[in-house]
A and B are shown apart, each in its own frame.
Chain A
Amino acid sequence: MMTLISGGAGSGKSAFAESCVLRSTAKNRIYLATMEVWGPEDRQRVARHREMRREKGFLTVEQPRCLESVTLPPDSVVLLEDLSNLTANECFGGAGFDGAEERILQGIGSIRMQAADLVIVTNELFSDGISYPAETQRYLALLARLNQILARQSDRVAEVAAGIPIFWKGAGE
């Protein structure tokens, strides 16, 4: 089962994503963190989140790009958080924009092949009416395209608003 979860900042999409993972019957809960850690503040935050998730039985794997190099234990449910970070890392910090779409889809495809269940958190960044510089527009267009492609592949697509999931595809339990 693949679930795509989107929403604005602070919409409660992470908490909803976690609840999807907790409902999965797969044995191993993997938190696939894509955030690139830069300074002591980031490290502190990551350590706190890691601890919170450990209590819920998650194993945290940090992988800011190249998801295809991740090997998962059998019978895993994966929470990939998040696609907007991963896309930014691939475009701005990795091999660049050229081929980024293919690389990202390949990486996610590899995770999907290995995992029993996959929950992907993405972002709703497309309704602010702001004209950004060309490179940012290119990033936004790519993220939106990835959202559409992954939505097609997903069994469920949910937008979270005020902590409440709105199902655009598939039904909630």
Chain B
Amino acid sequence: MRLIIGGSHQGKTLYTLKKHGISSENTADSFHSAENKAVFCDFQQAVQIALSSGEDPEQLTEALLRVNPEVIIICDEVGCGVVPVDKKERIWRETVGRLCCRLAERAESVERIFCGIPMKLK
């Protein structure tokens, strides 16, 4: 598994597809569809959907990694704003951050994209 992080609209997906020669059809945006795709885009959104439907995103992540251990996960960094008033938003933000930490620990590589430019963090 590899992890790509960065702010929104920084060119993370384009960078990933180009670097690994992956076609845009080989991407997914949900835990389920990511099981047989090379790239899992908008991980932060999938986490939000999981939380709002009462599922545990951590368990879903574990299940995904069991069937697709080579997946490249792309996730927006969402934690650099004012603490949201809405509790659900707060929990989401925190969950995305914590999950990224855990993914980063296990990832083969971690890259951060800024203005379309990659920086290898791990």
Nearest B residue (CB) for A152: B116
Q: Is A130 an interface residue (CB 8 A)?
A: yes
Whether A151 contacts B9 by the Cβ 8 Å rule is no
- CB-CB under 8 A from B82, the residues of chain A are 128
Asked if B7 is at the interface (CB within 8 A of a chain A CB), the reply is yes
B84 interface hit (Cβ, 8 Å) = yes
The 0/1 profile, CB within 8 Å of B marked 1, for residues 1-29 of chain A is 00010101000000000000000000000
Of chain A, the residue at the smallest CB distance from B96 is A129
Q: Does B44 contact A (CB under 8 A)?
A: yes
Interface residue count for A (Cβ, 8 Å)?
A: 23
For the complex, count residues of B whose C-beta is within 8 A of A: 24
**A167 CB, nearest partner CB in chain B, Å:** 10
Nearest A residue to B97 via CB reads A129
The number of residue pairs between A and B whose CB atoms lie closer than 8 Å in the complex comes to 67
Contact of A54 with B by CB under 8 A? no
Question: Of the candidates B10, B81, B114, which one forms a contact with A129 in the assembled complex, judged by CB atoms under 8 Å apart?
Answer: B81
Q: Which residues of A contact B89 (CB under 8 A)?
A: 129
Instruction: Give Cα distance in the complex from A125 to B76, angstroms.
Output: 12
A151 and B80 contacting across the interface, CB-CB below 8 Å = no
Inter-chain CA distance A141–B11, complex, in Å, is 11
B115 and A157 contact, CB distance less than 8 A: yes
Query: Across the interface, which residues of B come within 8 angstroms of A4, CB to CB?
Result: 115
Complex contact A148–B77 (CB within 8 A):
no
Does the CB pair B84–A126 fall under 8 Å? no
A140 to B80 CA separation, bound complex (whole angstroms): 15
Tell me the complex Cα distance, A157–B115, Å: 9
B26 at the A interface (CB under 8 A): no
Q: A140-B8, A140-B9, A144-B10 are in contact. Are A151 and B115 (CB under 8 A)?
A: yes
In the complex, which residues 77-110 of chain B have their Cβ closer than 8 Å to any Cβ of chain A?
Answer: 77-82, 84, 89, 92-93, 96
25 interchain pairs (CB within 8 A)?
Answer: A125-B7, A126-B8, A127-B79, A127-B80, A128-B78, A128-B79, A128-B82, A129-B76, A129-B77, A129-B79, A129-B96, A130-B81, A130-B84, A140-B8, A141-B9, A144-B9, A144-B10, A147-B116, A148-B116, A150-B115, A151-B116, A157-B114, A159-B114, A168-B114, A168-B115
Given contacts A157-B115, A169-B117, 12 further A-B contacts (CB under 8 A): A4-B115, A126-B9, A127-B81, A128-B79, A128-B80, A144-B9, A150-B115, A151-B115, A152-B116, A159-B114, A168-B114, A168-B119
- Show the binding face of A for B, using Cβ within 8 Å: 4, 6, 8, 124-130, 140-141, 144-145, 147-148, 150-152, 157, 159, 168-169
